[in-house]
Amino acid sequence: MSENEKTTIESKNFIEQIIDKDLAEGVYNTVHTRFPPEPNGYLHIGHAKSILLNYGLAKKYNGKFNMRFDDTNPTKERVEFVESIKSDIKWLGADWEDRLFFASDYFGQMYEAAVKLIKKGKAYVSDLSAEQIKEYRGSLTEPGREDPYSTRSVEENLQLFEEMKSGKYSDGEKVLRARIDMASPNINMRDPVIYRVAHMTHHNTKDEWCIYPMYDFAHPIEDAIEGITHSVCTLEFEDHRPLYDWVVRELEYPVPPRQIEFAKLYLTNVVTGKRYIKKLVEEGIVDGWDDPRLVSIAALRRRGFTPESIKLFVELCGVSKSNSSVDYAMLEYCIREDLKAKKPRMMAVLDPVKLIIDNYPEGQTESLEAPNNMENEELGSRQIPFGRELYIEREDFMEEPPKKYFRMFPGNEVRLMNAYLVTCTGCVKDEEGNVMEVHCTYDPATKGGNSADGRKVKGTIHWVSAKQAITAEVRLYENIIDEEKGVYNEDGSLNLNPNSLKILKKCYLEPEFAGAKAYDSFQFVRQGFFCVDAKDSKPEALVFNRIVSLKSSYVLPKA
Protein backbone atom coordinates (compact mmCIF):
# COMPACT_ATOMS: atom_id res chain seq x y z
CA MET A 1 0.00 0.00 0.00
CA SER A 2 1.38 3.41 -0.90
CA GLU A 3 1.55 6.30 1.58
CA ASN A 4 -1.16 8.01 -0.33
CA GLU A 5 -3.59 5.13 -0.09
CA LYS A 6 -2.93 4.81 3.61
CA THR A 7 -3.91 8.39 4.33
CA THR A 8 -7.16 8.12 2.39
CA ILE A 9 -8.14 4.99 4.26
CA GLU A 10 -7.24 6.39 7.66
CA SER A 11 -8.60 9.88 7.16
CA LYS A 12 -11.76 10.50 9.12
CA ASN A 13 -14.62 12.80 8.42
CA PHE A 14 -15.17 15.76 10.73
CA ILE A 15 -17.90 14.00 12.69
CA GLU A 16 -15.62 11.07 13.44
CA GLN A 17 -12.97 13.51 14.57
CA ILE A 18 -15.41 15.09 17.03
CA ILE A 19 -16.41 11.64 18.30
CA ASP A 20 -12.77 10.59 18.72
CA LYS A 21 -12.10 13.68 20.78
CA ASP A 22 -15.21 13.15 22.92
CA LEU A 23 -14.22 9.57 23.63
CA ALA A 24 -10.62 10.51 24.38
CA GLU A 25 -11.69 13.26 26.78
CA GLY A 26 -14.29 11.07 28.44
CA VAL A 27 -17.21 13.32 27.51
CA TYR A 28 -18.93 10.10 26.48
CA ASN A 29 -17.82 6.52 26.84
CA THR A 30 -19.98 5.16 24.05
CA VAL A 31 -21.52 6.27 20.76
CA HIS A 32 -25.29 6.28 20.38
CA THR A 33 -26.90 7.79 17.28
CA ARG A 34 -30.42 7.93 15.90
CA PHE A 35 -32.38 8.64 12.74
CA PRO A 36 -35.39 10.86 13.51
CA PRO A 37 -37.69 11.25 10.49
CA GLU A 38 -41.00 13.05 10.58
CA PRO A 39 -43.59 10.58 9.27
CA ASN A 40 -44.98 13.11 6.79
CA GLY A 41 -43.81 11.59 3.50
CA TYR A 42 -41.59 8.92 2.00
CA LEU A 43 -37.85 8.94 2.55
CA HIS A 44 -35.57 10.03 -0.28
CA ILE A 45 -31.93 9.67 -1.26
CA GLY A 46 -30.97 12.53 1.11
CA HIS A 47 -32.45 10.65 4.04
CA ALA A 48 -30.53 7.55 2.93
CA LYS A 49 -27.39 9.56 3.48
CA SER A 50 -28.45 10.49 6.99
CA ILE A 51 -29.53 6.92 7.81
CA LEU A 52 -26.33 5.33 6.55
CA LEU A 53 -24.23 8.01 8.24
CA ASN A 54 -25.88 7.56 11.63
CA TYR A 55 -26.01 3.79 11.40
CA GLY A 56 -22.45 3.67 10.08
CA LEU A 57 -21.15 5.72 13.01
CA ALA A 58 -22.84 3.45 15.52
CA LYS A 59 -21.38 0.37 13.81
CA LYS A 60 -17.92 1.84 13.49
CA TYR A 61 -17.70 2.73 17.19
CA ASN A 62 -19.45 -0.40 18.39
CA GLY A 63 -22.30 1.71 19.62
CA LYS A 64 -26.05 1.78 19.12
CA PHE A 65 -28.44 3.20 16.56
CA ASN A 66 -32.04 4.15 17.35
CA MET A 67 -34.96 4.57 15.05
CA ARG A 68 -37.26 7.34 16.22
CA PHE A 69 -40.31 8.87 14.62
CA ASP A 70 -40.38 12.57 15.29
CA ASP A 71 -44.15 12.71 15.41
CA THR A 72 -44.73 15.86 17.40
CA ASN A 73 -46.72 17.59 14.66
CA PRO A 74 -50.05 15.75 14.33
CA THR A 75 -51.38 17.56 11.23
CA LYS A 76 -49.20 16.11 8.51
CA GLU A 77 -48.42 12.68 9.87
CA ARG A 78 -49.84 9.43 8.60
CA VAL A 79 -49.50 5.77 9.51
CA GLU A 80 -48.84 4.94 5.84
CA PHE A 81 -45.61 6.94 6.09
CA VAL A 82 -44.54 5.23 9.32
CA GLU A 83 -44.74 1.84 7.59
CA SER A 84 -42.98 2.94 4.41
CA ILE A 85 -40.16 4.57 6.38
CA LYS A 86 -39.58 1.42 8.42
CA SER A 87 -39.42 -0.79 5.37
CA ASP A 88 -37.09 1.61 3.53
CA ILE A 89 -34.65 1.70 6.43
CA LYS A 90 -34.69 -2.08 6.77
CA TRP A 91 -34.08 -2.41 3.05
CA LEU A 92 -31.06 -0.11 3.33
CA GLY A 93 -29.71 -2.46 5.96
CA ALA A 94 -29.74 -0.14 8.98
CA ASP A 95 -30.70 -2.17 12.04
CA TRP A 96 -32.28 -0.50 15.08
CA GLU A 97 -32.57 -3.90 16.83
CA ASP A 98 -35.25 -3.42 19.51
CA ARG A 99 -34.95 0.36 19.66
CA LEU A 100 -37.89 1.72 17.68
CA PHE A 101 -39.29 4.82 19.35
CA PHE A 102 -41.93 7.49 18.85
CA ALA A 103 -41.38 11.01 20.13
CA SER A 104 -45.07 11.00 21.04
CA ASP A 105 -44.35 8.31 23.64
CA TYR A 106 -42.47 11.02 25.55
CA PHE A 107 -45.26 13.60 25.62
CA GLY A 108 -45.67 12.97 29.35
CA GLN A 109 -41.98 13.50 30.05
CA MET A 110 -41.94 16.59 27.85
CA TYR A 111 -44.83 18.03 29.82
CA GLU A 112 -42.92 17.36 33.05
CA ALA A 113 -39.82 18.98 31.55
CA ALA A 114 -41.84 22.11 30.75
CA VAL A 115 -43.18 22.17 34.31
CA LYS A 116 -39.60 21.92 35.56
CA LEU A 117 -38.61 24.95 33.50
CA ILE A 118 -41.58 26.93 34.81
CA LYS A 119 -40.61 26.06 38.40
CA LYS A 120 -37.06 27.24 37.69
CA GLY A 121 -38.46 30.49 36.37
CA LYS A 122 -37.22 29.57 32.90
CA ALA A 123 -40.57 29.45 31.12
CA TYR A 124 -43.78 31.44 31.16
CA VAL A 125 -47.24 31.37 29.62
CA SER A 126 -47.94 34.16 27.15
CA ASP A 127 -51.22 35.43 25.74
CA LEU A 128 -49.61 37.12 22.76
CA SER A 129 -50.90 36.00 19.38
CA ALA A 130 -48.56 34.44 16.82
CA GLU A 131 -48.58 37.78 14.99
CA GLN A 132 -47.63 39.72 18.09
CA ILE A 133 -44.90 37.28 19.04
CA LYS A 134 -43.38 37.79 15.64
CA GLU A 135 -43.62 41.55 16.02
CA TYR A 136 -42.06 41.53 19.51
CA ARG A 137 -39.27 39.25 18.37
CA GLY A 138 -37.39 42.01 16.53
CA SER A 139 -35.17 41.32 13.54
CA LEU A 140 -31.57 40.54 12.67
CA THR A 141 -30.71 44.19 13.25
CA GLU A 142 -33.12 45.01 16.08
CA PRO A 143 -33.33 43.34 19.50
CA GLY A 144 -36.66 41.90 20.60
CA ARG A 145 -38.95 43.45 23.20
CA GLU A 146 -39.94 41.81 26.47
CA ASP A 147 -43.19 39.90 26.36
CA PRO A 148 -45.67 41.77 28.65
CA TYR A 149 -46.69 38.40 30.15
CA SER A 150 -43.15 37.42 31.04
CA THR A 151 -43.51 38.73 34.57
CA ARG A 152 -46.19 36.24 35.58
CA SER A 153 -45.39 34.38 38.78
CA VAL A 154 -44.31 30.74 38.85
CA GLU A 155 -47.63 29.79 40.50
CA GLU A 156 -49.68 31.56 37.87
CA ASN A 157 -47.64 30.00 35.07
CA LEU A 158 -48.06 26.52 36.56
CA GLN A 159 -51.79 27.00 36.78
CA LEU A 160 -52.15 28.43 33.27
CA PHE A 161 -49.99 25.68 31.75
CA GLU A 162 -52.10 23.09 33.52
CA GLU A 163 -55.19 24.76 32.11
CA MET A 164 -53.67 24.73 28.62
CA LYS A 165 -53.25 21.00 29.01
CA SER A 166 -56.75 20.42 30.31
CA GLY A 167 -58.33 22.01 27.25
CA LYS A 168 -59.47 25.33 28.67
CA TYR A 169 -58.01 27.38 25.82
CA SER A 170 -58.51 27.38 22.10
CA ASP A 171 -55.76 26.99 19.50
CA GLY A 172 -53.35 29.91 19.60
CA GLU A 173 -54.91 31.48 22.67
CA LYS A 174 -51.90 30.80 24.87
CA VAL A 175 -48.37 29.47 24.41
CA LEU A 176 -45.53 28.51 26.71
CA ARG A 177 -42.28 30.38 26.04
CA ALA A 178 -38.78 29.65 27.30
CA ARG A 179 -37.28 32.60 29.13
CA ILE A 180 -33.87 33.10 27.57
CA ASP A 181 -32.81 36.44 26.13
CA MET A 182 -34.91 38.83 24.05
CA ALA A 183 -31.74 40.73 23.13
CA SER A 184 -29.80 37.72 21.89
CA PRO A 185 -28.22 38.19 18.46
CA ASN A 186 -29.58 34.72 17.72
CA ILE A 187 -33.30 35.07 17.09
CA ASN A 188 -33.89 31.44 18.07
CA MET A 189 -32.91 32.40 21.61
CA ARG A 190 -35.45 35.22 21.95
CA ASP A 191 -37.87 33.45 24.26
CA PRO A 192 -38.87 30.74 21.77
CA VAL A 193 -42.30 29.17 21.98
CA ILE A 194 -41.92 25.65 23.38
CA TYR A 195 -45.55 24.53 23.71
CA ARG A 196 -48.67 25.43 21.79
CA VAL A 197 -52.36 24.64 22.10
CA ALA A 198 -53.65 22.53 19.21
CA HIS A 199 -56.89 20.60 19.42
CA MET A 200 -55.93 17.85 17.03
CA THR A 201 -56.08 14.09 16.98
CA HIS A 202 -52.64 12.54 16.95
CA HIS A 203 -52.03 9.26 15.07
CA ASN A 204 -50.51 7.68 18.17
CA THR A 205 -51.86 9.47 21.25
CA LYS A 206 -55.28 10.20 19.69
CA ASP A 207 -57.07 12.88 21.78
CA GLU A 208 -54.99 12.53 24.92
CA TRP A 209 -53.22 15.84 24.35
CA CYS A 210 -54.35 19.24 23.16
CA ILE A 211 -50.96 20.86 23.72
CA TYR A 212 -47.94 19.89 21.65
CA PRO A 213 -44.23 20.65 22.13
CA MET A 214 -42.32 22.58 19.47
CA TYR A 215 -39.55 20.81 17.58
CA ASP A 216 -36.66 22.74 19.16
CA PHE A 217 -37.85 21.84 22.63
CA ALA A 218 -38.90 18.27 21.89
CA HIS A 219 -35.87 17.11 19.95
CA PRO A 220 -33.16 17.57 22.60
CA ILE A 221 -35.45 15.95 25.18
CA GLU A 222 -36.00 12.94 22.90
CA ASP A 223 -32.25 12.61 22.42
CA ALA A 224 -31.51 12.94 26.13
CA ILE A 225 -34.19 10.41 27.15
CA GLU A 226 -32.75 7.84 24.76
CA GLY A 227 -29.17 8.44 25.84
CA ILE A 228 -28.14 9.68 22.41
CA THR A 229 -24.55 10.94 22.48
CA HIS A 230 -24.16 12.47 19.03
CA SER A 231 -27.29 13.97 17.54
CA VAL A 232 -26.43 14.36 13.89
CA CYS A 233 -28.63 16.69 11.85
CA THR A 234 -28.41 18.94 8.82
CA LEU A 235 -26.97 22.42 8.49
CA GLU A 236 -30.20 24.38 8.79
CA PHE A 237 -30.20 23.53 12.52
CA GLU A 238 -26.82 25.09 13.19
CA ASP A 239 -28.42 28.31 14.47
CA HIS A 240 -30.68 26.25 16.69
CA ARG A 241 -27.80 24.54 18.47
CA PRO A 242 -27.58 27.16 21.27
CA LEU A 243 -31.23 26.45 22.02
CA TYR A 244 -30.62 22.70 21.93
CA ASP A 245 -27.78 23.16 24.41
CA TRP A 246 -29.88 25.46 26.58
CA VAL A 247 -32.69 22.88 26.82
CA VAL A 248 -30.44 19.99 27.83
CA ARG A 249 -28.54 22.21 30.28
CA GLU A 250 -31.62 23.69 31.99
CA LEU A 251 -33.23 20.28 32.26
CA GLU A 252 -30.04 19.05 33.93
CA TYR A 253 -29.61 15.82 32.07
CA PRO A 254 -26.60 13.95 33.49
CA VAL A 255 -25.09 13.20 30.08
CA PRO A 256 -26.23 15.91 27.66
CA PRO A 257 -26.23 14.91 23.98
CA ARG A 258 -24.20 16.87 21.45
CA GLN A 259 -25.73 18.20 18.24
CA ILE A 260 -23.53 18.04 15.12
CA GLU A 261 -24.59 19.45 11.75
CA PHE A 262 -23.57 18.33 8.27
CA ALA A 263 -24.54 19.50 4.78
CA LYS A 264 -27.62 18.05 3.10
CA LEU A 265 -27.18 15.95 0.03
CA TYR A 266 -28.46 17.66 -3.10
CA LEU A 267 -28.63 16.14 -6.57
CA THR A 268 -28.28 18.56 -9.45
CA ASN A 269 -31.52 19.00 -11.41
CA VAL A 270 -33.29 16.35 -9.36
CA VAL A 271 -36.39 16.84 -7.24
CA THR A 272 -35.59 15.70 -3.68
CA GLY A 273 -37.73 17.92 -1.43
CA LYS A 274 -40.58 16.02 0.16
CA ARG A 275 -42.87 18.95 -0.57
CA TYR A 276 -42.27 18.76 -4.33
CA ILE A 277 -42.43 14.99 -4.53
CA LYS A 278 -45.70 15.14 -2.66
CA LYS A 279 -47.06 17.61 -5.19
CA LEU A 280 -46.09 15.37 -8.13
CA VAL A 281 -47.82 12.46 -6.41
CA GLU A 282 -50.94 14.39 -5.47
CA GLU A 283 -51.34 15.90 -8.94
CA GLY A 284 -51.06 12.46 -10.49
CA ILE A 285 -48.04 13.43 -12.57
CA VAL A 286 -46.25 10.37 -11.28
CA ASP A 287 -47.51 6.91 -10.38
CA GLY A 288 -47.23 7.28 -6.60
CA TRP A 289 -44.29 7.85 -4.23
CA ASP A 290 -42.49 4.89 -5.75
CA ASP A 291 -42.66 6.07 -9.37
CA PRO A 292 -39.29 4.98 -10.81
CA ARG A 293 -38.53 8.53 -11.96
CA LEU A 294 -38.36 9.80 -8.39
CA VAL A 295 -35.49 9.54 -5.95
CA SER A 296 -37.52 8.44 -2.98
CA ILE A 297 -36.00 5.26 -1.58
CA ALA A 298 -39.11 3.30 -2.58
CA ALA A 299 -38.77 4.64 -6.14
CA LEU A 300 -35.06 3.86 -6.39
CA ARG A 301 -35.78 0.36 -5.20
CA ARG A 302 -38.60 -0.10 -7.70
CA ARG A 303 -36.38 1.24 -10.46
CA GLY A 304 -33.81 -1.43 -9.56
CA PHE A 305 -31.22 0.31 -7.41
CA THR A 306 -29.69 -1.86 -4.70
CA PRO A 307 -28.78 -1.01 -1.10
CA GLU A 308 -25.13 -1.63 -2.04
CA SER A 309 -25.27 0.94 -4.84
CA ILE A 310 -26.76 3.54 -2.50
CA LYS A 311 -24.12 2.81 0.13
CA LEU A 312 -21.39 3.27 -2.43
CA PHE A 313 -22.99 6.52 -3.55
CA VAL A 314 -23.20 7.89 -0.02
CA GLU A 315 -19.58 6.96 0.62
CA LEU A 316 -18.42 8.68 -2.54
CA CYS A 317 -20.37 11.81 -1.56
CA GLY A 318 -18.58 12.04 1.78
CA VAL A 319 -19.64 14.13 4.77
CA SER A 320 -19.15 17.85 4.69
CA LYS A 321 -20.00 21.13 6.35
CA SER A 322 -20.68 23.03 3.15
CA ASN A 323 -23.63 22.61 0.81
CA SER A 324 -22.94 21.24 -2.63
CA SER A 325 -24.75 19.33 -5.28
CA VAL A 326 -23.91 15.96 -6.77
CA ASP A 327 -24.52 14.77 -10.31
CA TYR A 328 -27.19 12.08 -10.84
CA ALA A 329 -24.62 10.39 -13.10
CA MET A 330 -22.70 9.46 -9.97
CA LEU A 331 -25.67 7.46 -8.72
CA GLU A 332 -25.82 5.76 -12.12
CA TYR A 333 -22.11 4.98 -11.91
CA CYS A 334 -22.72 3.30 -8.54
CA ILE A 335 -25.50 1.02 -9.75
CA ARG A 336 -23.50 -0.02 -12.83
CA GLU A 337 -20.55 -0.81 -10.60
CA ASP A 338 -22.72 -2.92 -8.33
CA LEU A 339 -24.56 -4.86 -11.05
CA LYS A 340 -22.01 -5.35 -13.79
CA ALA A 341 -20.45 -8.51 -12.45
CA LYS A 342 -23.41 -9.72 -10.39
CA LYS A 343 -26.13 -9.96 -13.00
CA PRO A 344 -26.55 -12.17 -16.07
CA ARG A 345 -26.24 -10.55 -19.48
CA MET A 346 -29.07 -11.73 -21.65
CA MET A 347 -30.61 -10.75 -24.95
CA ALA A 348 -33.73 -8.63 -25.31
CA VAL A 349 -34.91 -6.81 -28.41
CA LEU A 350 -36.67 -3.57 -27.55
CA ASP A 351 -37.67 -2.28 -30.99
CA PRO A 352 -38.04 -5.47 -32.99
CA VAL A 353 -37.95 -6.23 -36.70
CA LYS A 354 -37.94 -9.75 -38.08
CA LEU A 355 -34.76 -11.28 -39.46
CA ILE A 356 -35.23 -14.31 -41.73
CA ILE A 357 -32.34 -16.63 -42.49
CA ASP A 358 -33.30 -17.92 -45.92
CA ASN A 359 -30.87 -20.83 -46.05
CA TYR A 360 -31.68 -22.11 -42.54
CA PRO A 361 -33.89 -25.25 -42.69
CA GLU A 362 -37.55 -24.48 -42.03
CA GLY A 363 -38.88 -26.01 -38.82
CA GLN A 364 -35.41 -26.61 -37.40
CA THR A 365 -34.33 -25.24 -34.04
CA GLU A 366 -31.10 -25.71 -32.20
CA SER A 367 -29.78 -24.83 -28.82
CA LEU A 368 -26.71 -22.66 -28.45
CA GLU A 369 -24.63 -22.13 -25.36
CA ALA A 370 -23.88 -18.62 -24.08
CA PRO A 371 -21.91 -17.45 -21.06
CA ASN A 372 -24.06 -15.52 -18.57
CA ASN A 373 -21.43 -12.95 -17.74
CA MET A 374 -18.02 -12.82 -19.33
CA GLU A 375 -16.63 -10.92 -16.34
CA ASN A 376 -17.90 -13.46 -13.85
CA GLU A 377 -17.54 -17.13 -14.71
CA GLU A 378 -19.39 -18.11 -11.55
CA LEU A 379 -22.65 -17.14 -13.19
CA GLY A 380 -22.22 -20.06 -15.58
CA SER A 381 -23.86 -20.36 -18.95
CA ARG A 382 -27.27 -20.96 -20.48
CA GLN A 383 -28.83 -22.47 -23.59
CA ILE A 384 -30.51 -20.19 -26.10
CA PRO A 385 -32.84 -21.44 -28.84
CA PHE A 386 -31.96 -20.48 -32.41
CA GLY A 387 -34.07 -20.85 -35.55
CA ARG A 388 -34.86 -19.55 -38.99
CA GLU A 389 -36.81 -16.50 -37.79
CA LEU A 390 -35.35 -14.10 -35.27
CA TYR A 391 -35.98 -10.60 -33.98
CA ILE A 392 -33.29 -7.97 -34.12
CA GLU A 393 -33.32 -4.27 -33.22
CA ARG A 394 -34.78 -2.13 -35.98
CA GLU A 395 -31.78 0.19 -35.72
CA ASP A 396 -29.41 -2.71 -36.39
CA PHE A 397 -30.47 -2.71 -40.06
CA MET A 398 -30.10 0.07 -42.60
CA GLU A 399 -30.83 -0.22 -46.26
CA GLU A 400 -28.46 2.62 -47.06
CA PRO A 401 -25.92 2.83 -44.28
CA PRO A 402 -23.83 5.87 -43.49
CA LYS A 403 -20.06 5.51 -43.20
CA LYS A 404 -18.81 3.53 -40.20
CA TYR A 405 -22.10 1.67 -39.83
CA PHE A 406 -21.00 -1.91 -39.26
CA ARG A 407 -24.30 -3.57 -38.56
CA MET A 408 -26.76 -5.10 -41.08
CA PHE A 409 -27.02 -3.69 -44.56
CA PRO A 410 -27.30 -5.50 -47.88
CA GLY A 411 -24.09 -7.34 -48.68
CA ASN A 412 -22.57 -6.96 -45.20
CA GLU A 413 -21.61 -9.85 -42.94
CA VAL A 414 -22.19 -9.52 -39.17
CA ARG A 415 -22.07 -11.75 -36.15
CA LEU A 416 -25.27 -12.82 -34.41
CA MET A 417 -24.05 -12.86 -30.84
CA ASN A 418 -23.22 -16.38 -29.57
CA ALA A 419 -24.59 -17.84 -32.84
CA TYR A 420 -23.43 -17.56 -36.47
CA LEU A 421 -22.06 -15.15 -39.02
CA VAL A 422 -24.80 -14.01 -41.38
CA THR A 423 -24.75 -11.95 -44.56
CA CYS A 424 -27.58 -9.54 -45.20
CA THR A 425 -29.33 -9.99 -48.52
CA GLY A 426 -32.01 -7.28 -48.36
CA CYS A 427 -35.36 -6.44 -46.88
CA VAL A 428 -39.09 -6.50 -47.50
CA LYS A 429 -41.02 -3.24 -47.12
CA ASP A 430 -44.69 -2.34 -46.86
CA GLU A 431 -46.41 0.15 -49.14
CA GLU A 432 -45.25 3.07 -47.03
CA GLY A 433 -41.67 1.99 -47.18
CA ASN A 434 -41.42 0.61 -43.65
CA VAL A 435 -39.06 -2.31 -43.30
CA MET A 436 -41.14 -5.39 -42.43
CA GLU A 437 -38.51 -8.12 -42.69
CA VAL A 438 -34.77 -8.28 -43.08
CA HIS A 439 -33.30 -11.23 -44.95
CA CYS A 440 -29.94 -12.91 -44.71
CA THR A 441 -28.07 -16.17 -45.22
CA TYR A 442 -25.92 -17.86 -42.61
CA ASP A 443 -22.65 -19.72 -42.78
CA PRO A 444 -23.23 -23.07 -40.98
CA ALA A 445 -19.48 -23.39 -40.44
CA THR A 446 -19.41 -20.41 -38.07
CA LYS A 447 -21.31 -21.82 -35.12
CA GLY A 448 -20.42 -19.86 -31.97
CA GLY A 449 -19.75 -16.79 -34.07
CA ASN A 450 -16.31 -17.37 -35.55
CA SER A 451 -15.20 -18.48 -38.98
CA ALA A 452 -12.62 -21.18 -39.57
CA ASP A 453 -10.84 -19.08 -42.18
CA GLY A 454 -10.37 -16.26 -39.71
CA ARG A 455 -12.30 -13.66 -41.69
CA LYS A 456 -13.24 -10.68 -39.57
CA VAL A 457 -16.61 -9.01 -39.12
CA LYS A 458 -16.94 -5.65 -37.47
CA GLY A 459 -20.47 -5.79 -36.17
CA THR A 460 -22.00 -8.05 -33.53
CA ILE A 461 -25.72 -7.74 -32.90
CA HIS A 462 -28.08 -9.35 -30.45
CA TRP A 463 -31.23 -11.25 -31.40
CA VAL A 464 -34.04 -13.38 -30.02
CA SER A 465 -35.55 -16.47 -31.65
CA ALA A 466 -39.07 -15.54 -32.78
CA LYS A 467 -40.72 -18.86 -31.97
CA GLN A 468 -39.61 -19.03 -28.34
CA ALA A 469 -39.51 -15.31 -27.56
CA ILE A 470 -41.29 -13.91 -24.52
CA THR A 471 -43.18 -10.66 -25.05
CA ALA A 472 -42.60 -8.01 -22.41
CA GLU A 473 -43.21 -4.34 -21.74
CA VAL A 474 -40.16 -2.17 -21.16
CA ARG A 475 -40.18 1.31 -19.64
CA LEU A 476 -37.41 3.76 -20.39
CA TYR A 477 -36.89 6.80 -18.19
CA GLU A 478 -35.38 10.23 -18.40
CA ASN A 479 -35.15 12.88 -15.71
CA ILE A 480 -38.64 14.07 -14.82
CA ILE A 481 -37.19 17.58 -14.94
CA ASP A 482 -36.30 19.31 -18.17
CA GLU A 483 -32.64 19.92 -17.38
CA GLU A 484 -32.16 22.48 -20.12
CA LYS A 485 -34.60 24.79 -18.39
CA GLY A 486 -33.62 24.07 -14.77
CA VAL A 487 -35.74 22.62 -11.99
CA TYR A 488 -38.14 25.48 -11.25
CA ASN A 489 -40.13 27.95 -13.31
CA GLU A 490 -40.33 31.56 -12.20
CA ASP A 491 -43.62 30.90 -10.43
CA GLY A 492 -42.00 28.09 -8.42
CA SER A 493 -43.63 25.26 -10.38
CA LEU A 494 -41.52 22.40 -11.71
CA ASN A 495 -40.19 22.33 -15.26
CA LEU A 496 -41.37 18.92 -16.35
CA ASN A 497 -39.80 16.87 -19.12
CA PRO A 498 -42.60 15.51 -21.33
CA ASN A 499 -40.40 12.56 -22.38
CA SER A 500 -39.53 11.30 -18.92
CA LEU A 501 -41.37 8.01 -19.49
CA LYS A 502 -41.33 6.02 -22.71
CA ILE A 503 -43.26 2.74 -22.79
CA LEU A 504 -42.28 0.00 -25.25
CA LYS A 505 -45.21 -2.41 -25.33
CA LYS A 506 -43.85 -5.20 -27.49
CA CYS A 507 -40.30 -6.18 -26.73
CA TYR A 508 -38.97 -9.69 -27.26
CA LEU A 509 -36.88 -11.51 -24.69
CA GLU A 510 -35.07 -14.81 -24.77
CA PRO A 511 -37.04 -17.59 -22.98
CA GLU A 512 -34.56 -17.67 -20.09
CA PHE A 513 -36.38 -14.60 -18.71
CA ALA A 514 -39.49 -16.68 -17.93
CA GLY A 515 -40.23 -16.66 -14.22
CA ALA A 516 -38.46 -13.34 -13.54
CA LYS A 517 -39.85 -11.91 -10.31
CA ALA A 518 -40.33 -8.43 -8.85
CA TYR A 519 -36.98 -6.67 -8.25
CA ASP A 520 -34.99 -9.24 -10.27
CA SER A 521 -32.49 -7.42 -12.42
CA PHE A 522 -30.52 -8.24 -15.55
CA GLN A 523 -28.24 -6.72 -18.06
CA PHE A 524 -29.89 -6.60 -21.48
CA VAL A 525 -26.87 -6.80 -23.75
CA ARG A 526 -26.10 -3.49 -25.43
CA GLN A 527 -29.12 -1.84 -23.75
CA GLY A 528 -28.45 -1.40 -20.07
CA PHE A 529 -29.59 -2.77 -16.74
CA PHE A 530 -33.26 -3.57 -16.25
CA CYS A 531 -35.37 -4.56 -13.28
CA VAL A 532 -38.72 -6.33 -13.07
CA ASP A 533 -41.32 -3.77 -12.00
CA ALA A 534 -42.69 -4.62 -8.57
CA LYS A 535 -46.07 -3.00 -9.11
CA ASP A 536 -47.18 -3.88 -12.63
CA SER A 537 -45.27 -6.98 -13.73
CA LYS A 538 -47.11 -10.31 -13.86
CA PRO A 539 -45.64 -13.73 -14.59
CA GLU A 540 -47.59 -13.87 -17.86
CA ALA A 541 -46.93 -10.23 -18.78
CA LEU A 542 -43.51 -9.10 -17.60
CA VAL A 543 -42.78 -5.40 -17.18
CA PHE A 544 -39.22 -4.10 -16.91
CA ASN A 545 -37.83 -0.74 -15.83
CA ARG A 546 -34.58 0.45 -17.29
CA ILE A 547 -32.39 1.23 -14.30
CA VAL A 548 -29.59 2.75 -16.32
CA SER A 549 -28.08 2.49 -19.77
CA LEU A 550 -24.62 0.99 -20.24
CA LYS A 551 -22.82 4.01 -21.51
CA SER A 552 -21.67 6.78 -19.31
CA SER A 553 -19.76 9.94 -19.72
CA TYR A 554 -19.29 10.05 -15.98
CA VAL A 555 -15.74 10.13 -14.66
CA LEU A 556 -15.28 9.43 -10.99
CA PRO A 557 -13.67 12.47 -9.36
CA LYS A 558 -10.20 11.85 -7.92
CA ALA A 559 -10.17 11.79 -4.14
Residues binding ligand ATP (CB under 6 A): 36-38, 46-47, 49-50, 233-234, 264-265, 272-274
Which of Mg ion, ligand ATP, none sits in contact with 479, Cβ below 5 to 8 A by type?
none
The span from the CA of 370 to the CA of 510, in Å, is 12
Residue 149 or 215 with smaller CB distance to Mg ion: 215
Collapse the DSSP code of 495 into the 3-class scheme (helix H, G, I; strand E, B; otherwise coil) and give the result. coil
The span from the CA of 468 to the CA of 470, in Å, is 7
Residue 297 or 348 with smaller CB distance to ligand ATP: 297
Residue 58 or 424 with smaller CB distance to ligand ATP: 58
Q: How far is the CB of 100 from Mg ion (least distance, A)?
A: 19
Q: How far is the CB of 432 from Mg ion (least distance, A)?
A: 56
The span from the CA of 264 to the CA of 323, in Å, is 6
Residue 296 or 523 with smaller CB distance to ligand ATP: 296
Q: How far is the CB of 71 from ligand ATP (least distance, A)?
A: 10
Contact 494, 343 (CB under 8 A): no
Which of 163, 153, 86, 103 shows the shortest CA–CA distance to 124?
Answer: 153
Residue 88 or 191 with smaller CB distance to ligand ATP: 88
Nearest residue to Mg ion by CB is: 38
Give 3-state DSSP helix, strand, coil % of the chain, rounded to 5.
30, 25, 45
Residue 223 or 510 with smaller CB distance to ligand ATP: 223
The span from the CA of 117 to the CA of 126, in Å, is 15
Q: How far is the CB of 230 from ligand ATP (least distance, A)?
A: 12
Q: How far is the CB of 265 from ligand ATP (least distance, A)?
A: 4
Residue 31 or 466 with smaller CB distance to ligand ATP: 31
Collapse the DSSP code of 81 into the 3-class scheme (helix H, G, I; strand E, B; otherwise coil) and give the result. helix
Q: Which amino acid is residue 406, in one-letter code?
A: F
Which of ligand ATP, Mg ion, none sits in contact with 37, Cβ below 5 to 8 A by type?
ligand ATP
Q: How far is the CB of 291 from ligand ATP (least distance, A)?
A: 16
Binding mask of the shown chain, residues 10 to 49, with x at each position contacting Mg ion by CB under 5 A: ----------------------------x-----------
Which of ligand ATP, Mg ion, none sits in contact with 234, Cβ below 5 to 8 A by type?
ligand ATP
Nearest residue to ligand ATP by CB is: 46
Which of Mg ion, ligand ATP, none sits in contact with 264, Cβ below 5 to 8 A by type?
ligand ATP
Q: How far is the CB of 433 from Mg ion (least distance, A)?
A: 58
The span from the CA of 231 to the CA of 216, in Å, is 13
Phi, psi of 370 (to 5 degrees): -135, 140
Give the sign of the dihedral formed by CA 386, CA 390, CA 396, CA 402.
Answer: positive
Binding mask of the shown chain, residues 257 to 296, with x at each position contacting Mg ion by CB under 5 A: ----------------------------------------
Residue 88 or 512 with smaller CB distance to Mg ion: 88
Beta bridge partners of 175: 126, 196
Q: How far is the CB of 332 from Mg ion (least distance, A)?
A: 28
Contact 115, 216 (CB under 8 A): no
Residues 6 or more apart in contact with residue 89 via CB below 8 angstroms: 35, 43, 51, 67, 96
Residue 38 or 337 with smaller CB distance to Mg ion: 38
Q: How far is the CB of 47 from ligand ATP (least distance, A)?
A: 5
Which of ligand ATP, Mg ion, none sits in contact with 94, Cβ below 5 to 8 A by type?
none
C-beta atoms surrounding 89 within 10 Å: 24
Q: Is 541 left (phi over 0), alpha (psi -120 to 50) or beta?
A: beta
Residues 6 or more apart in contact with residue 415 via CB below 8 angstroms: 421, 422, 449, 457, 459, 460, 461
Residues in the interface with Mg ion (CB under 5 A) total 1
Residues of this chain that interact with Mg ion (CB under 5 A) are 38
